[in-house]
Amino acid sequence: MTIAIYPGSFDPVTKGHLDIIIRSSKIMDHLIVAVLENPRKVASYNIEKRVEMLKLVTEPYPNVEVDYYKGLLIDYAEQKKIDIIVKGLRAISDFEFEFQMALVNQKLNPAIETLFMMTNSKYSYLSSSIVKEIAALGGDISSLVPPEVHDIIIEIYK
Ligand code: ADP
């Protein structure tokens, strides 16, 4: 049984994230989407909201679980007996940071592999920050985020 983790801020979840979740859940036996609680990064949505949004959009996928963690990803991964870390890659600009993280995690625990999944070209420009910028300026984000979470996302800009 292959257990994978897809970690991120998901502040908030976008259609780009959901695409990676759906595609990787088809390859893995079990996928844990884990929201990182990062005390150094100020989030727009609190951890409960981010988890709630992910639960809403992953409801149709029975092998997908949503959780959150604090601290080192590798510690959480060991505790959950995870085999694979899934990361999405949008552009060359994602590569350098993700490459470094993958090598560090490999050093910390060589038994846990990092797998990169290429973005769907439809979503290669999409990030949580872009969604927030458009929403803050009153723009229409309905093509960028899953419909189940649209209203929750725009709530903070009303
Ligand atoms: P963001 O950079 O949008 O704030 P996160 O920190 O929540 O995203 O990202 C979690 C993971 O999802 C990372 O591996 C990131 O590269 C990936 N990801 C984010 N947006 C997309 C997208 N549009 N297509 C593919 N992967 C993505």
The CATH number of the domain holding residue 91 is: 3.40.50.620
From ligand 1's centre to the CA of 99, what distance in Å?
14
Q: How far is the CA of 29 from the centre of ligand 1 (A)?
A: 22
Both tokens assigned to 71: 């601290």
Q: Which two tokens stand for residue 116?
A: 């990169």
CB 49 within 8 A of CB 61: no
**Predicted local confidence at residue 92, as pLDDT:** 78
Ligand 1 site residues, Cβ closer than 6 angstroms: 8-10, 14, 16-17, 20, 87-90, 94, 119, 123, 126-128
Return the best residue to mutate from 10, 11, 20 for the ligand 1 pocket (most ligand atoms within 8 A of CB): 20
Residues annotated as part of the active site: 17, 41, 90, 128
Measuring from atom 21 of ligand 1, which residue has the nearest CA?
Answer: 16
Which tokens go with 5? 């983790």
Kindly state the helix (H) or strand (E) to which residue 39 belongs, with its residue range.
Answer: none
Query: Considering the chain, what is the average pLDDT of its residues?
Result: 95
As a whole number, mean pLDDT of residues 73-97 equals 93
The atom of ligand 1 lying closest to the CA of 123 is 23
Chain mean position to CA 136: 21
Q: Mind listing the pLDDT tens digit for each residue in 89-129?
A: 998 778 899 999 999 999 999 999 999 999 999 999 999 99
pLDDT band at 80 (very low <50, low <70, confident <90, very high): very high
How far is the CA of 31 from the CAs of 45, 95, 129, in angstroms? Answer: 23, 23, 25
User: What percent of the chain has pLDDT above 70?
Assistant: 100
Q: What is the pLDDT of residues 32-51, one digit of tens each?
A: 999 999 888 899 999 999 99
Q: Provide the domain count of the chain.
A: 1
Q: Residue 106: which of 94, 96, 98, 117 has the closest Cα?
A: 98
Owning domain of residue 103: 3-155
Residue nearest to atom 3 of ligand 1 (CA): 127
pTM for this entry: 0.95
CA distances (Å), 35 to each of 1, 67, 143, in order?
23, 6, 23
67 has which bridge partners? 34
Distance from C-alpha of 110 to C-alpha of 93, rounded to nearest angstrom:
25
Q: Say whether 132 sits in a helix, a strand or coil.
A: helix
- Would you state the structure tokens that stand for residue 35, as one six-digit string? 């929201």
Sign of CA dihedral 128, 136, 138, 125: negative
